[in-house]
Structure 1
């Protein structure tokens, strides 16, 4: 510890049970054979049926020489077959790479090339896009059973904790998107904590965010390991979510803040019986205290808010029932997590100071795929030689050890639970001939929590703001689109030329409670 620096001391991980995914779900195929494993809008699979398919997917992959060290990609909405594929790839010892269908075609091409997956599974909805990604073999995911053919089922391929589990890509329009690597130790440490929110074999987990998102995987993988049931939604809809929750007697859900806001605004919310719920979880963005208050009053079961990164490292949890006076925070460090705050020069700050949050824990990525320099940029090394993940989030710990997030260092916009980087949008807007200068900021959105606003200094009087917006959005991913472009005579800058985004944001956030 640096001289004069107090910090949150991580609690030891007591009786930590590290389980490997494939052997555990192999056990579940038998133990919970007749119980429902996964259900979507098309079919319902028991654990025995799910297991039979997973074992034969793995057998087919093995016959193709795909195993440890191999990567298999997918491009699909949520379905039961997508979950079968995910488990089958892991069962074969290979690494799963779920591509984000919300990314631009150009970004997807870079992702497929970077991971090197020659085998790509795609749903019919995304087949046209898949055909352009350069994979040598594309399989229709709806015809997975036909692809399996007469492949023999196999037992799970033995893997080391250091072997790759999956790789999640950050979205972006500039450069090559970063592939965030997760090994089996990373995932094992995550699902070993699932008992903390009451997940066991009696659980029913609602899956309403995309399977390519770490938000989804944290909850769904843990549910499968515990022998629970997963209810898969192709896309989120408030009424359908409530209908399925009531029908299947859901006990758990992982949602992003905007989904909670939409559910609380749903006129029919109180018509549904949600008494089976034990715990709702939230991540991807801070959950506003006013929203927590509404959910705790109207929706049975507790709310657990998690703060962390796809890269791993920092990890906090807020038990909303236990700490009603801390709903303006993202909770305390989880057991085993070491959280600190640093200044702009990388110096560790005294406890309670405001700075960039960094963290380390048992679940940390080995690094970004094929990007050692990016990995180095995302790492802070403490004076005692420990490696921490830099969050880019500005915050402080209060006297009780709860983390208050105060700002985002890199001007990241969190819209609908997805991270949007202003620099990516600005790079596209700058290419328009009528744009002389530009800044993109986050403004409040009832539907998305936050949404990007482009502030443009036009290059000519005849410039059309709506035409510029439409032009840019045609080149951006679905989750990145600019909501509006407004013209400015100039943009405020500091003495060293940096645009003062805080000054730009203030008028839009005045009077906001979250």
Structure 2
């Protein structure tokens, strides 16, 4: 838990960085998406065209430009062209429903929308009914005639681009959390630039970063900006497939990657993994969801290179890292606070807990140089996430319950909203899930709180069995309950074939709980 270091990084706009790469490494590959690639000089020219076309279309500094689509070279041109025009890019989740996307578009007030037709007819119909001017891309990652013609409006412009400022809104990312209505997270250009200059990830001009998470995700944007800032190459997948990922990593000698835990599981389980050459991999990162201990051990045994697990928020403020190879006895944790980051716990009343208290649980709160400006048009949400110290400095509340050990390593126990309160006792799902994970027949387990007439709510385990293994739910419940405290005991174990997840692989406990509480509400409503 270190003190936050002041940020002294010189502000260099991203379009200026790309312009410099276009001179110094003109023929070097900037981006590759599936079978298409573009060098820095060509990419710079197209980015400038996009920026001028926007300006001629009436998009100015601070205006919002939305993109709905899968990774493509056109998507990347529009993302950085928006920033070069001093507008704010809004990458929207292509996996969301048309109605949810319509809500986000109305909320951000986008003047211009770039649309990938591969997102489907329902989204296309919604977009055409909206207020924003729509420019469609081609199918299967192609530029498409409509986009190419629109971009050509910015050709042969003798005018310079507006000078970007650190306080310019860089992007609005809509939260993909498992509860509530998505909120628009605003990041500033200066923060993103400082984030891209962050040390410790080993990016250089020879880096080849393979990314397979969606374009709207911070899991993709953050390492992409770090690679770009250092003049490396980014290889992006339109859609994740474990076999295709392995083929790309081997063929292009990928040096860096960022994946979510479920992707690591699928890659390691793929029949081609053993024969795939990942020897060029220098740094592999995991984020987006907690990773279980068994998977970390598997990565250490089979995945080459440095491996880092990151814990944080898209909103910023919290940043913890665990290097399992350096700390094999801490695999149950998410590591320690990153350099320049302050992380601590607060109690239920919001009071800061004294440092050094072991096994005392509280909500994780933190502050770092890499924090959002706030939520777009949501002062209520700003007030909910912000925690102020005596000097009036803003920190972010995570909503996660955790505890520190004697060495300052943080273990996550549950979401604050997911804590099971049974008979007045707080029960943390992570404690019970860790016990279940030790059973040889359990592949994965999720513990949720379900209604109880006697206790208010009680813990229920939803379990996936390992392939070919038969589990007796009652026997498993008795086995687990023999290893926990009396107030932690499971009321039941249910076997499942799968567990619901978000597009980024995060377990949706809200979806798991809903049927049980809906039935309880319906029963209570009956006369």
TM interval, short-chain normalised: 0.7 to 0.9
Is contact 2:258-2:285 (8 Å) kept? yes
8 Å CA contact 1:253–1:279 kept in 2: the answer is: yes
Partner SS state of residue 126, structure 2: coil
Aligned to 1:399: 406
* 2:55 alignment partner, SS class: helix
| 2:264 corresponds to | 260
User: Whole-Å Cα distance in 2 between the matches of residues 295 and 388 of structure 1?
Assistant: 33
Q: CA deviation at 1:342?
A: 0.3
- Aligned equivalents of 2:513 and 2:180: distance in 1? 25
Tell me the CA shift for residue 26 of structure 1. 1.5
Paired residue for 1:123? 116
Give unpaired runs (5+ residues) of structure 1.
1-7, 415-421, 427-436, 448-472, 498-514
Pairing 1:61–2:64 present: no
Q: Residue 360 and residue 446 in structure 1: after superposition, are their counterparts in 2 closer, same or farther (change >3 A)?
A: farther
Is 1:344 matched up with 2:337?
Answer: no
Work out the CA distance in 2 between the residues paired with 1:398 and 1:478.
29
Aligned to 2:152: 149
Q: CA separation of 1:441/1:61 partners in 2, compared to 1, >3 Å: closer, same or farther?
A: farther
Cα gap change, 1:284/1:61 in structure 2, threshold over 3 Å: closer, same or farther? same
1:73 to 59, 66, 70: 66
Partner of 2:235: 231
- Asked whether the equivalents of residues 40 and 231 of structure 1 are also in contact (C-alpha less than 8 Å), the reply is yes
8 Å contact from structure 1 (residues 107, 176) kept in 2: no
C-alpha distance 280-156 of structure 1, shift in aligned 2 (>3 A): farther
Q: Secondary structure at the match of 2:81?
A: helix
Distance 1:348 1:86, change over 3 A: same
Structure 1's 342 and 33: CA in aligned 2 closer, same or farther, altered over 3 A?
same
Q: Secondary structure at the match of 1:217?
A: helix
1:176-210 per-position Cα deviation (integer Å, ceiling 9, x unaligned): 531011011221221111x4111111000111000
TM-superposed deviation, 1:127: 5.5
| Alpha-carbon distance change, 376 to 34 in structure 1, aligned in 2, over 3 angstroms | same
Question: In the superposition, relative to structure 1, how do residues 184 and 439 fare at CA in structure 2: closer, same or farther (>3 Å)?
Answer: farther
With over 3 angstroms needed to count, the CA separation of the structure-2 counterparts of 1:222 and 1:445, relative to structure 1, is farther
Task: Tell me which of 104, 124, 132 is aligned to 2:126.
Answer: 132
Tell me what 1:324 maps to: 328
Distance 2:217 2:271 in 1: 29
Alpha-carbon distance in structure 2 between the residues aligned to 1:242 and 1:326: 28
Distance 1:174 1:410 in 2: 9
Cα distance change, pair 252–443 in 1 and its aligned pair in 2 (3 A): farther
Q: Count how many residue pairs are aligned between Structure 1 and Structure 2.
A: 440
Aligned twin of 1:457:
none
The 2-side partners of 1:130 and 1:277 are apart by 39
The aligned runs of 1:24-39 (5 Å cut-off) are 24-39=17-32
Residue 365 of structure 1: SS of its match in structure 2?
coil
Residues 315-364 of structure 1 show CA distances to partners (whole Å, capped at 9, x for unaligned) of 11122332222222111111221111001110111223310001111111
**Distance 1:54-1:446 versus aligned 2 partners, 3 A rule:** farther
> How far 1:76 sits from its partner (Å)?
0.1
Distance 1:445 1:238 in 2: 21
Task: Name the SS for the 2:154 alignment partner.
Answer: coil
Shift in alpha-carbon separation, 1:388–1:323, aligned structure 2, 3 A: same
1:334-373 matches, within 5 Å, as 334-351=338-355, 352=357, 353-373=360-380
TM-score normalized by structure 1? Answer: 0.78
Structure 2 spans left out of the alignment, 5+ residues: 139-143, 420-428, 431-447, 451-455, 467-499
**C-alpha RMSD of matched pairs (Å):** 3.3
